[in-house]
Amino acid sequence: MVVQSMAKTDTRDASATIVQIRRLEEFGCQLVRVAVPDGEAAASIPTIKPLTSIPLIADIHFDYRLALLALQGGVDGLRLNPGNISDREQIKAVVLAAKERNVPIRIGVNAGSLPPTENKEQTIVERMVGSALEQIKLLESLDFDLIKVSLKAFDVPDTVAANRALAERMPYPIHLGITEAGTTKSGVIRSAVGIGILLHHGIGDTIRVSLSGDPCEEVSAGYEILKALDLSQRGPTLISCPSCGRTEVDIIGLANAVEERLSKLKKSIKVAVMGCVVNGPGEARDADVGIACGKGRGVIFRKGEQVRTVDEADFLTALMAEIDTF
Ligand code: SF4
């Protein structure tokens, strides 16, 4: 399962784009897409490519010649939108150039930019699936099968229905995402629901959480979705209790402080921050390391076994020390 994101810099500014892609790499991003809106942006690709290490995908709309330029520049993948590039001869030119270089093409269908239709009866889901299948047929007729497909909408039920219908009708990998999902707060939930449902049905090979926010947040959210479904173990996982009337310490403050520290860790570890000694270790049985707090004191536990007791002032340091040695 591959987590991808998209650079938010102006691709014409190669230096800024390189800096952002390198940050994304540090966050574990495994594929990155860059917008190629014009020839100047395409001309940045040969500069960006050797200075970054994850596969680079060029996002192309309207003008097939930009796809040709991106391929010449050394991209590892193309995203074409059948809603705005549909001319057979143009697509043929791109497919031949991609085939020569063994570069895959994602057919990226968006509910907001579907090709026009005469059939007013068709639902948006049928139009999305139909548009993808038509483009697949065209690529296959050109003897090209390095295909990946995505069907994205803002509407979660539509995205789920479209992808389920598509998965039954073609064998290619599927890239999942909810398009224009929103800000970090609402977009993560919307994406987690849509992507999560599909992944749970065994559909999806790459994912992107589209957010109006820092692209690194997209990557973190992507991994959280995968971890919630046990599809990835990458990095730490925080289990923290919501706190309740039994809590006698600032558990919310502690959980946030631990999360902040964990965000810098790369190792795969489950950490629990629990508000009481009665239920804490039991409720966090799954955790590798944890703390269960009582009035002024806390019990540090490791794999469910209590290892030591610490004062409230030392909760964070003691827990982090335990995590470091785990
Ligand atoms: S772990 Fe304890 S303090 Fe936290 S919610 Fe459960 S019962 Fe309440």
Q: Which residues of 281-295 are buried (b: 16+ CB within 10 A; e: fewer)?
A: bebbeebbbbbbbbe
Distance 326 CA to ligand 1 centre (A): 25
Ligand 1 contacts CB of residue 276 (under 6 A): yes
Taking the CA of residue 278 as reference, the ligand 1 atom at the shortest distance is 2
The pLDDT assigned to 98 comes to: 98
Distance 168 CA to ligand 1 centre (A): 44
Closest CA to 322 of 249, 285, 298: 298
Distances (CA, A) of 147 to 214, 244, 261: 29, 51, 40
The secondary structure element, H or E, covering residue 271 is strand 270-274
Query: If you take atom 3 of ligand 1, which residue's CA is the nearest one?
Result: 275
Closest CA to 247 of 291, 294, 290, 285: 294
The pLDDT assigned to 48 comes to: 98
Ligand 1 contacts CB of residue 50 (under 6 A): no
Ligand 1 contacts CB of residue 247 (under 6 A): yes
The pLDDT assigned to 177 comes to: 97
Distance 138 CA to ligand 1 centre (A): 58
Query: If you take atom 2 of ligand 1, which residue's CA is the nearest one?
Result: 276
Ligand 1 contacts CB of residue 24 (under 6 A): no
The tens-digit pLDDT sequence of the chain (326 residues) is: 999 999 999 999 999 999 999 999 999 999 999 999 999 999 999 999 999 999 999 999 999 999 999 999 999 999 999 888 889 999 999 999 999 999 999 999 999 888 888 788 899 999 999 999 999 999 999 999 999 999 999 999 999 999 999 999 999 999 999 998 889 889 999 999 999 999 999 999 999 999 999 999 999 999 999 999 999 888 899 999 999 998 899 999 999 999 999 988 888 999 999 998 777 767 777 799 999 998 899 999 998 888 999 999 999 999 999 999 99
Ligand 1 contacts CB of residue 116 (under 6 A): no
Structure tokens at 232: 């990835």
DSSP string, 131-181: HHHHHHHHHHHTT---EEEEEE-SSHHHHHHHHHHHHHH--S-BEE--TT-
d(C-alpha 82, C-alpha 61), whole Å: 9
Taking the CA of residue 275 as reference, the ligand 1 atom at the shortest distance is 3
The pLDDT assigned to 118 comes to: 78
The pLDDT assigned to 263 comes to: 83
Structure tokens at 289: 């390391």
The pLDDT assigned to 91 comes to: 95
Ligand 1 contacts CB of residue 274 (under 6 A): yes
The pLDDT assigned to 24 comes to: 97
Distance 291 CA to ligand 1 centre (A): 12
Q: Contact 189/221 with Cβ under 8 angstroms? A: no
Ligand 1 contacts CB of residue 250 (under 6 A): no
Using most ligand atoms within 8 A of CB, pick from 283, 285, 299, 301 the residue to mutate for ligand 1.
283
